[in-house]
């Protein structure tokens, strides 16, 4: 009995040893197999990032270098003799109109102030020797203004439409702090007016089989932006709307561009003192328009100026939670500074 017990113990020990060795070999093989899989995944990820970098570099060179080397007056004029610029009496709109006029394009300005429109119209005509017109229209009023705009443009060969008119909060604030009227104004100008202006000019462009539509959006279209929620959402709509139109009409000779600027020194961002001073990141309207016009016919979705394109390549790849935290910091600071300044002025 003792012999049998010793035999069974020895046999059991050998079996356990064999099982252990077998498991060790399988684990070792599996480990190396998993390492191979991870190596392949890592290689694919590295290649993907490398291709993205190369694509980004090529895109930057194409849109910002080639556009400067080969953009000329003929490129702009091929779309037609007249350009319509909404919000053209100030800021980016005015600078964009002047830049187009420098290429020999006749200009029609849309805005709400007859005095400003007349002054800018006369200035452009005198400076660049082109024909100019203007249409007084308050785009915040909604549908009632568009029949008169359509009538004013019915006999015009509109080659370029620049949907530049835009409305922003008076200062960054949470949604319930913004008056209903302001939210409706943002929607009417940033969304409804842009859509209706395309309705007015696009049929004529399709008949002539040429034309360019530039919808001026904002970098806030990339992700949610707290404290300017309605404005940022309206620009996200405009970006999506523009890109959809590209797919619909690019094959019919119509160039449609989503222009996505970052900060430009205009009255719209006058609530923030830091945004009223030009630097490498915050551009003046003329500087921005000079670069943006050269992307017409080149890039369907662009930040316009090389400085803003660099910002776009960085910030549009930012994780959403970092993007939101960045904007929360910026907008809270701007809100605090604005209210503090307003209170100081009130006390005086």
* 155-180 tens-digit pLDDT: 899 999 999 999 999 999 999 999 99
Contact 89, 111 (CB under 8 A): yes
H or E segment at 336?
helix 320-347
Considering all CA atoms of the chain, what is the largest pairwise distance in Å, rounded to the nearest integer?
120
| Structure letter (DSSP) for residue 297 | T
- Report, as an integer, the average pLDDT of 274-292: 90
Note the pLDDT of residue 65: 54
Q: How do residues 186-200 score in pLDDT, each as one tens digit?
A: 999 999 999 999 999
Domains in the chain, CATH or no CATH each:
73-338 (3.40.50.720)
pTM of the model: 0.80
Best-predicted range by mean pLDDT (1-5, 36-40, 43-47, 322-326): 322-326
From 223, 238, 222, 244, select the one nearest 190 (Cα to Cα): 238
Q: How do residues 212-239 score in pLDDT, each as one tens digit?
A: 999 999 999 999 999 999 999 999 999 9
Q: How do residues 315-347 score in pLDDT, each as one tens digit?
A: 999 999 999 999 999 999 999 888 888 776 766
32 exposed, middle or buried (CB, 10 Å; 0-12, 13-18, 19+)? Answer: exposed
d(CA 150, CA 199): 9
Q: How do residues 52-79 score in pLDDT, each as one tens digit?
A: 656 555 555 555 555 555 456 678 999 9
Q: Which two tokens stand for residue 186?
A: 């943002």
Per-residue pLDDT band for 99 (boundaries 50, 70, 90) equals very high
Q: Which residues pair with 259 in a beta bridge?
A: 216, 302
Per-residue pLDDT band for 308 (boundaries 50, 70, 90) equals very high
- Torsions phi, psi of 191, nearest 5? -110, -65
Residues 6+ apart with CB under 8 A from 89: 109, 111, 113, 116, 117, 119, 120
Note the pLDDT of residue 271: 81
Note the pLDDT of residue 297: 94
Note the pLDDT of residue 2: 45
Note the pLDDT of residue 19: 67
Note the pLDDT of residue 7: 47
Contact 228, 220 (CB under 8 A): yes
Helix (H, G, I), strand (E, B) or coil at 176: helix
Question: Where in the sequence numbering do the catalytic residues fall?
Answer: 231
């Amino acid at each position: 009995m003792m012999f049998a017990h010793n035999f069974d113990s020895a046999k059991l020990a050998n079996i356990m040893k064999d099982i252990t060795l077998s498991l060790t070999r399988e684990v070792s093989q599996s480990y190396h197999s998993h390492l191979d899989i991870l190596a392949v995944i890592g290689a694919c990820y590295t290649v993907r990032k490398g291709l993205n970098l190369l694509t980004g570099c090529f895109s930057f060179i194409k849109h910002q270098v080639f556009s400067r080397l080969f953009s000329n007056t003929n490129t702009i004029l091929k779309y037609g003799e007249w350009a319509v610029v909404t919000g053209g009496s100030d800021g980016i709109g005015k600078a964009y109109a002047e830049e187009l006029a420098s290429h020999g394009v006749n200009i029609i300005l849309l805005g709400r102030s007859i005095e400003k429109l007349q002054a800018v119209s006369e200035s452009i005509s005198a400076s660049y020797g082109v024909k100019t017109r203007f249409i007084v229209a308050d785009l915040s009023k909604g549908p009632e203004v568009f029949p008169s705009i359509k009538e004013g443009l019915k006999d015009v060969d509109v080659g370029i439409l620049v949907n530049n008119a835009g409305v922003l909060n008076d200062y960054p604030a949470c949604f319930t702090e913004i008056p209903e009227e302001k939210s409706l104004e943002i929607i009417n100008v940033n969304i409804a007016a842009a859509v209706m202006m395309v309705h007015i000019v696009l049929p004529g462009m399709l008949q002539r089989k040429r034309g360019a539509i530039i919808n001026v959006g904002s970098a806030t279209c990339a992700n949610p932006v707290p404290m300017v929620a309605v404005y940022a959402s309206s620009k996200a709509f405009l970006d999506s709307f523009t890109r959809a139109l590209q797919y619909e009409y690019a094959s019919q000779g119509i160039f449609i561009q989503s222009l996505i600027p970052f900060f430009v020194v205009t009255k719209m961002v006058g609530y923030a003192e830091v945004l009223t001073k030009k630097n490498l990141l915050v551009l003046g309207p003329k500087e921005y328009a000079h670069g943006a016009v050269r992307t017409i016919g080149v890039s369907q979705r662009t930040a316009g100026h090389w400085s803003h394109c660099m910002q776009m390549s960085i910030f549009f790849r930012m994780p959403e939670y970092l993007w939101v935290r960045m904007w929360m910091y910026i907008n809270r600071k701007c809100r605090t500074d604005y209210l503090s300044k307003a209170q100081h002025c009130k006390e005086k």
